[in-house]
Chain A
């Protein structure tokens, strides 16, 4: 298996260089293209823009005064759906007080999970999106396997643009995570007669708990 791989590599690079009129690698390091892509402008409050864009994309949202209110809000959400009183919670939210009667599990998502609760790394106002990074406390299956995905977003985490997201990731000093998920609503499909249907493969509901402290 090693041989064809090497052959393919040499073959592809040689043909690229021949097409570019060179016989070997470029003599000088590549000078990056100057400038940057335009960033869509918008006016008004960044958090309100985020809220409006997420609602536009079929997410639901509840505003909370503090992290202490998350437990009760999750219980209310589950009662309203209704879903079984069992939640798979990201380890990063371990400090929250959960109401009695709600079974709280940690770890990666399992097939039988109906509801997950996760934090986010950031949120983006531009076109609406919550951003999660994979890690030991934030397995990415929590974002995709359960029917209901609840995300805790602090208002201070909302960034104007996606460029700000990359800047925050670099500034955080952490290495590039295995997965960065940008999520802009519940799972959807329009593959049958362009009829939009929520809950294709991922969550049927994306519920945001926005903490405005």
Chain B
């Protein structure tokens, strides 16, 4: 896979000047925002659902060990197997082991962000397995050898012309020689090509949107039906899921299902909601002979104990990406790993190490839109601020920034000095910017003023205005 290279600022610079990417982002983000808003407006219970979802997740997290053990016992009772992976490497080894034991050659995959997180495809391919992504978006980026740029629509950055070229390159050897220009033709061709693989597959790997403790079931939701073909036609079905995805009951799952599609794609519901419980029964005519669940921890159990516990409520809907002014300007690849946008800026340093991805939490404007649309009410801006605080206290913040912040803190905590400096500075800025009404250059702030102008202050300081106002009211 072509992993994103360079530093975050370098990747951002490339993304902002990539006209095709900008066109794709503009086209996509507005649509998701409007469709979600329409669904929310049509459901008076939406706010109550969010609150209930938050409460259910907090309840589960407080008893996570108990619910996972209950879930495990039910899966086993239904004839399935549960595997626990403390980290990405354990997860890879467990899945490799299952594939070896199944004597597998072809592996089909439904969309799974956990499998992206643990870098599964590269490991399976290195062992000689033929791995085929079946979600159309995942299939496209697999052909392009790129990571997903969005957790729900992984190929959102690709135009149809680019998809046409990719299909030319990869489908021609299979006998598909016509160059395609229409979306309908492309979907049809991918359908035909992927059909071959579904019926040939030995192992089918899917994600798990929700794990149900009371029944030992896993739930996936898709629009394409690819997850169902993947898990029904292969001999072995492997579910990969984060340990935080367990919910107590089937009824609890409904709360999340009602939030998920509306928040993710602005649909009332996805086309297919599938509840899977164990392998093929003795008198079944189809379905997998083996059913495995790989529960992936990979940093989650550590998050449970600290200030980032709330991040474990995330149901991976992508609403925070769609509503983020930074994500919608730079796309997913600039973030450098599989989880982009606000949720990714929290998860990436937490999973990969706080000394990784320094820029991500700092690229947030703290505008708060992500929190306001999050279906499980995760205070994302607060969590990003907490990562910044930890970066500062562990010495990760660069020297210049540290010094500036220390000077600022020193001044801001001393009111007389602060006021004196403001009374000096504000009129100065006012005079400097009087002619044009704005300042296009400031000493030591070129990084800010290079790309935008600072409106020149008008009149006195805030403190002066406040004092005058209080005086007038008395």
Contact = CB atoms under 8 A, between A and B. Distances in A.
B275 A179 contact: yes
Given A191-B155, A199-B191, A20 B270 contact: no
Contacts of A108: 285-286
A38 B278 CA distance: 29
A7 to B, nearest CB: 8
B64 A201 contact: no
Interface stretch (B79-87, B170-178, B405-413, B444-452): B79-87
A194 B229 contact: no
Interface string A176-213: 11111111111111111111010111110000000000
B27 A191 contact: no
B153 A178 contact: no
A202 B140 CA distance: 18
B90 A4 contact: yes
Contacts of B283: 135-136
A194 B31 contact: yes
A179 B302 contact: no
Contacts of A139: 284-287
Contact of B83 (A8, A11, A140, A187): A8
A184 B183 contact: no
Contact of B272 (A5, A127, A181, A195): A181
A32 interface: yes
B285 A180 contact: no
B305 to A, nearest CB: 3
Interface stretch (B251-259, B323-331, B358-366, B373-381): B251-259
A38 B50 CA distance: 10
B352 interface: no
A38 B297 CA distance: 31
Residue from B67, B135, B183, B186 having most chain A Cβ neighbours under 10 A: B183
B281 A38 contact: no
Contacts, number: 260
Contact of B280 (A1, A178, A202): A178
Contact of B223 (A1, A4, A182, A188): A188
B64 A202 contact: no
A184 B261 CA distance: 12
Contacts of B64: 16, 20
Contact of B224 (A12, A36, A178, A202): A202
Contacts of B136: 189, 191-192, 200-201
Interface stretch (B10-18, B51-59, B423-431): B51-59
A72 interface: no
Interface in B251-304: 251-252, 254-255, 257-258, 265, 268-281, 283-287, 295, 297, 301-304
Given A15-B302, A30-B63, A176-B277, A189 B286 contact: no
A26 B66 contact: yes
B344 interface: no
Contacts of A144: 225, 228-229, 232
Given A20-B62, A40-B258, A178-B279, A190 B271 contact: no
B125 interface: no
B127 interface: no
Nearest to A183: B272
Contact of B271 (A109, A111, A187): A187
Interface residues of B, number: 103
A206 to B, nearest CB: 9
A157 interface: no
Nearest to A26: B66
Nearest to A145: B229
Interface residues of A, number: 75
A33 interface: yes
B251 A36 contact: yes
Contacts of A16: 64-65, 68, 243, 301, 304
Interface class of chain A by DSSP: loop
Interface string A38-76: 111100000000000100010000000000000000000
Nearest to B136: A191
Contacts of B280: 178
Contact of B52 (A18, A26, A37, A201): A37
Contacts of B69: 13, 25
Interface stretch (B157-165, B382-390, B463-471): B157-165
Contact of B159 (A128, A135, A193): A193
A189 B248 contact: no
Contacts of A183: 271-272
A13 B65 contact: yes
A199 B269 contact: no
A134 B229 contact: no
Contacts of A15: 86, 297, 301-302
Interface of A: 1, 4-5, 7-9, 11-13, 15-21, 25-26, 30, 32-33, 35-41, 53, 57, 107-109, 111, 127-129, 134-136, 139-141, 143-145, 162-163, 166, 176-195, 197, 199-203
Given A178-B287, A187-B225, A202-B224, 5 more contacts: A13-B65, A135-B284, A139-B284, A184-B271, A188-B271
16 contacts: A5-B83, A12-B243, A57-B271, A109-B286, A178-B280, A179-B275, A180-B274, A182-B274, A187-B224, A189-B137, A190-B153, A192-B140, A193-B160, A197-B183, A199-B188, A201-B198
Interface of B: 24, 27-28, 31, 43-45, 48-49, 52-53, 55-56, 59, 62-69, 78, 83-86, 90, 93-94, 97, 101, 134-137, 140, 153-156, 158-160, 163, 183-184, 186-188, 191, 194-195, 198-199, 215, 217, 223-226, 228-229, 232-233, 243, 248-252, 254-255, 257-258, 265, 268-281, 283-287, 295, 297, 301-306
